[in-house]
Structure formats: C-alpha cells, structure tokens
Amino acid sequence: GGLDCSISFVSHVLGKVCVHGRQKEILSVLVPRLTALTQSDCIWQRICWRLVECVPERWLEAVLLGFVQRAPGADVLSRLLGNLVVKNKKAQFVMTQKVLLLQYGHTTEVLQNLLGYLSLDSMRRALLIKVLQDLLETWGSSSAVKHSPPEQQHYISRAILICLSLLKEPEIESCRQELLTSMMEGVKCHLDSNLPQIRRQGMVVAESISSRINTDGPVLKFQYEEDDETRELKSLLVQTPPSSAVPSPLDNEKEEAGLPSVPETDKRSPAAAAMKPGEESDAELDSDDDLIPYDMSEDKELTTKAPLYIRDCMEVLTGSGSEDVDRWEAAVKVLESLIRKNPAATKEVSVELAKILLHLEEKTCLEGFVELRQRAQVAVLTTDPVPVAKFLTSQFYSLNYSLRQRMDILDVLVLAAQELSCPKSHRKTKHSSAQTSCIQVLPGSDSSKDWRTVVDERIKSKTRRFATGRSQVEPVSGPNEFNAVAGHFFFPLLQQFDRPLTTFDLLGEDHLVLGRLVHTLAALMYLAVNTVAVTAMGKALLEFVWVLRFHTDSYVRQGLLSCISSMLLSVPAERLLEDMTEELLETQSWLGDVVEKDPDGDCRRLALHNLLLMENLKKKLSTVPS
C-alpha cells in the first residue's frame, strides 16, 4: 500500500500469455478475482485499468478479447476496462471495428458485453452511435449481402439490434435520417437475396429499425414465418437492465409484426377444433345423446319414371313384365299425351298401337283405366286416321272379339270423328267436354239421348237462324280433317252387317251391337256435314235404314230414325232432292207409318221430328228460286 508500483510487468506477462493462446487459463483466474476486487474498490479498478493499458499494443487484442469474452457482464467489463477504448487507439480499433466487422465468431454475450460496455459511459456512447452507423453501412451494402457468409450477416444483424436496444430516443433522433436511408438500402439488398434466411433477417432488422425511428405512426411490417432465428433476433431488442426508456419492443413487435408466433398457434387450433364444436353444438341444441345425423339429401320420393317414347310405352304395355306394375300404370297414364305430342312417331306404329290398345286389359286397379284407354285410342285414330280406321273397322267384323271390344271400336270411331270434324280452335274445349260427354259403357239409351239432344238443338238452331240472322261470331275456320277420312270411317261399317260370323251375328242375337252400330252411323253421318262424301254416305245410309226399318228392337229403330235425322241435316238439300227424291218419298211414307203405329214413344217422336225436317227442307227449297 501506498507504493507506486508498476504493473507493467504484470501487463507484459499477461499480454505474452494471452498472445500465446493461454488466455483462458490465466484470465479464468484473473478475471473473477479482478471482478470481485473491483466491485467496490476504486483503487483496484484503477489498477485494473493500468494493467490493461500497459499491455503492449501487439498483445492488446488478445487481452482485450479475452476480457470481453470472460467478463460476466457489460458493467463488469466497464469496471475492468474503464475508458480504455476511448484512450487507446488500438483498443478502439479492436473493439469497434475488428470484433464487430472483421470477426463474426463471437457469441451474443460477447456482443452484449461489448456494446453494453460502450453504452455505459457517456464518452463511449458516441462510439456506440458510430458503431451502429458502421454496422448499418455494412448491413446495407449489397456486395456484403451477396458475398459475405450468412453467419457474418447474422452476426451483424444481432449487433445492430443490440445497438438499437441500447440507444436512447434522442440519440436515435439525431441520426434518424441516416438510419432511414441505410435501412431502405439494406432492405432492398436483403429482399433481393435468394436465401430465405437472409430475407428474413433483413426483414426483422428493418422492422426493428423502423419501429425505433418511427415510434409514432405507421411502422414497417413484413410478413414472414417466425422461426428460432427471428425470434432470437427480436429478443435482442429487449435489454434486461431496462436502462433505456424504450418500451419493451417485443410487445410492440407482437402487435405490429406480421405473424406473431403465439396468435398463430391460437389460430391453428381454433381452425382444427371448428369442426367439432360445430357438430357438438348441433347435438347439444338437439340434446339427443350427441348422435350426429348423416347426410340425408338423397332421400327423395320414389317415383317411377314413365316411359318417354311411344315404342317404350308399347313395350311396357305388351311386356310380360308383371313385376313392374308401377311402370305399366305410368305408361297407361302417359300414353295419350305422348301420342299427341309425337304424331310422326305415332304414325309409324299406329296400327300396332291401336291393336295393343284394343286388347289392353286392366292389370291393376287403376283409376279411370277405361277412359285412359279410350282416350289413347282416340288419339291414335285422330293422328293417323286412315290406316287405323281401316284396322278398326275390319276388326269390328272379325272373329273372337268380345262385344265390349266391338262397342269400344264404335265409340272410338265416333269420338275421333267428332274431334276431327271440329275446327281446331274448338278442339281444346271439346277435349274437356269430351270427358263428360264420353260415350258411356252402359248400353243404355244414354247415347241415343245425347244425340237426340244434339239433333234437337241443331234443328232449333237452324230454324232460329233464319229468324235472327247471323248473331254468332264467325269461328276461325280451318280445313275439315274429317273430310278426307269420313268415308273410311263410315263405309266399312256398312259392308258386312248382314254376314254372320260364328261368334258375331248382327242381325241375330247381337242386336245390342247392331243398335250401337246404327247410332254410330247416325253420329258419323251427322259429323260428316260439309264433307265431300256426304251424299254418297247419305245414300248408303238410307239403303241401310230401308233394309232394317222393321227391326223388332226399339233401340235399333230409334237409331235408324236418328240416322234419318242426321242424313236430313247433313246432306245438302239440293243433293237430297236431286239424287234421292224417290228414296225420300218412300222414307216419308214410312215415317208417317211410324208416327202412327210404332209402339215405342221415342220412335214416334223421332219420326215426327224427321217429318218436320223434311217439311222444312221442302219449304226451304220452294222459297229459293230454282
């Protein structure tokens, strides 16, 4: 104590040892001792400083490095070294340039120590700023980014971040502009790089710089994936001794950075759990033992597909497929509409289809089967009248048909004739009324009543028309389709009525059918008004009536009288008088007989009607100048 001893020898020794690579051994003993000694004792501090100062320059680097590495903290280093870095040029060079820029193998603690050391004294702080600038310059140089190893760049980034954390607000304020410039340049170089690591580092550093220089206002924000490196870098911004009044940048980072790590994991888990809560909440709402329903969107009504083509229909109807009754039913229901929609297709198969329909029997208890069949038959007949009429009329006189079937034929012929003779505009309404005025199955006098009313109406309308003139609007006219085919409907029916077959004898037992035939002929006659064949038809009919006029069955006789009425109404008056005068006279006398002597009231009435008609006819003709 009190001696002014020279430590230079010790320094020499120290330096020599360190240079020879024995830093560790000697400093591992020395530094802790010195740390302890210099803790509170100023004298020891000065001794320490002297010690280091006296180390010859050529060995100073080794010693300094050793100290920096060994020192447990920046403040210890500060105690040990004092302002050496300011006083000693070599020291300064080592500390501010060499360690930071020329070497990059040191750990983060070393950097922390060093830079912390620089920050702890006001004299040294200037150096710190300079250091930062140098670092940024290197960081921002594109050649450095391209050519220096990533480890070095990482090292520099770390150093920058530590500096940033150590610097105070005003200091940063002072060099703001430079910082900004360097940052911009640096960011550009870093983002250009192909290595994602470099890019990330650049982004982190830039963000940090930006956050420090723009504490208020928008900061630079990058989106990058967090990894250990970035996290480590960011953690450097926080200094454990909160000497600087900067708020923990780490928190700021979290708010401002692109994808903070913790919220990311949070996001991922909700996404994964989204399925489960959805289902669970469903189940909870229903509180049904959390049984999750399956997709039931395929559960629809079973509908049998009706056939779309006529040939398919035919197949279904003729098929032995007794299994698919649903399909059969669907086919029956849809047949009429198919026929009407596809006249061309129907014409190809018309006769066959008519045959199928004629023989079609009810397989299941289908509502309205009879009507459906009849309508389909009418549809076929109207679509392709000539061949189908030929077929039907021939079948009428064929063997092995039931009475029901023969009468069906007649009904169908009349309905079809009605449809064909009706102008198209009226047909639509006729269809709906056809449902109600459909010829009944029962062989009652119903059908004759229908026609009677029609005939009566016609008579009335005819007489009235003379009195009142044309009070009705002219309906839209179109060609009479029945014209072409009337003969085909009519004449074949007349041809074979007197030829008995084994199962069918019109003139014998089957007078029911005969009655229906006669009524049918009357209807056809009536509908044949304005056709070309009407006169021929009239003649033939009159002959037919003449043969049968004394038939015993009153239904037949009524039919015959309706025939006369139809004839008188349909055949133009001139033709009647010119071509059929004798027959008419004979008929007139017969009618007079009927009026007086016929036992059946209806017959008498009808005969009277006919006589009236004939009278009217004569009057009409006599008024017209010949």
Q: How far apart are CA 233 and CA 355, in angstroms?
A: 96
Question: At its nearest, how many Å lie between other proteins and the CB of residue 325?
Answer: 13
Enter the tokens of residue 73: 């903290």
Question: At its nearest, how many Å lie between other proteins and the CB of residue 423?
Answer: 46
Q: Which is nearer to other proteins, 5 or 292 (CB)?
A: 292
Q: Which is nearer to other proteins, 288 or 457 (CB)?
A: 288
Q: Which is nearer to other proteins, 262 or 302 (CB)?
A: 302
Minimal CA–CA distance to 590: which of 572, 616, 613, 610? 610
Reduced to 3 states, what is the DSSP secondary structure of residue 598?
Answer: coil
Question: At its nearest, how many Å lie between other proteins and the CB of residue 170?
Answer: 60
| Interactions with other proteins, residue window 407-466 (CB under 8 A) | none
Question: At its nearest, how many Å lie between other proteins and the CB of residue 280?
Answer: 14
Alpha helices in 322-368 (DSSP H): 325-341, 343-359
CB of 317 closer than 8 Å to CB of 332: yes
Q: How far apart are CA 584 and CA 109, in angstroms?
A: 139
Q: Which is nearer to other proteins, 276 or 428 (CB)?
A: 276
Among 293, 444, 475, 592, interactor with other proteins by CB under 8 A: 293
Question: At its nearest, how many Å lie between other proteins and the CB of residue 318?
Answer: 24
Handedness of CA 425, 431, 436, 441 (dihedral sign): positive
Question: At its nearest, how many Å lie between other proteins and the CB of residue 204?
Answer: 41
Residues 220-234, buried b or exposed e (16+ Cβ, 10 A)?
Answer: bebebebeeebeebb
Binding mask 253-292 for other proteins (x = CB under 8 A): ---------------------------------xxxxxxx
Amino acid type, 554: S
Q: How many residues bind other proteins (CB under 8 A)?
A: 16
**Residue 273: other Cβ atoms inside 10 A:** 11
Question: At its nearest, how many Å lie between other proteins and the CB of residue 273?
Answer: 16
Q: Which is nearer to other proteins, 72 or 293 (CB)?
A: 293
Q: How far apart are CA 596 and CA 152, in angstroms?
A: 139
| Interactions with other proteins, residue window 298-317 (CB under 8 A) | 298-302
| Interactions with other proteins, residue window 509-568 (CB under 8 A) | none
Minimal CA–CA distance to 567: which of 554, 579, 552? 579
Q: How far apart are CA 20 and CA 292, in angstroms?
A: 78
Q: Which is nearer to other proteins, 291 or 442 (CB)?
A: 291
Site membership for other proteins, residue 367 (CB under 8 A):
no
Question: At its nearest, how many Å lie between other proteins and the CB of residue 288?
Answer: 4
Q: Which is nearer to other proteins, 273 or 621 (CB)?
A: 273
Question: At its nearest, how many Å lie between other proteins and the CB of residue 186?
Answer: 49
Q: Which is nearer to other proteins, 289 or 582 (CB)?
A: 289
Among 3, 245, 296, 467, interactor with other proteins by CB under 8 A: 296
Q: Which is nearer to other proteins, 262 or 275 (CB)?
A: 275
Alpha helices in 141-216 (DSSP H): 142-147, 150-166, 169-174, 176-192, 196-213
Handedness of CA 182, 187, 190, 192 (dihedral sign): negative
Q: How far apart are CA 384 and CA 412, in angstroms?
A: 13
DSSP 497: T
Among 223, 294, 320, 467, interactor with other proteins by CB under 8 A: 294
What residue ranges bind other proteins (CB under 8 A)? 286-296, 298-302
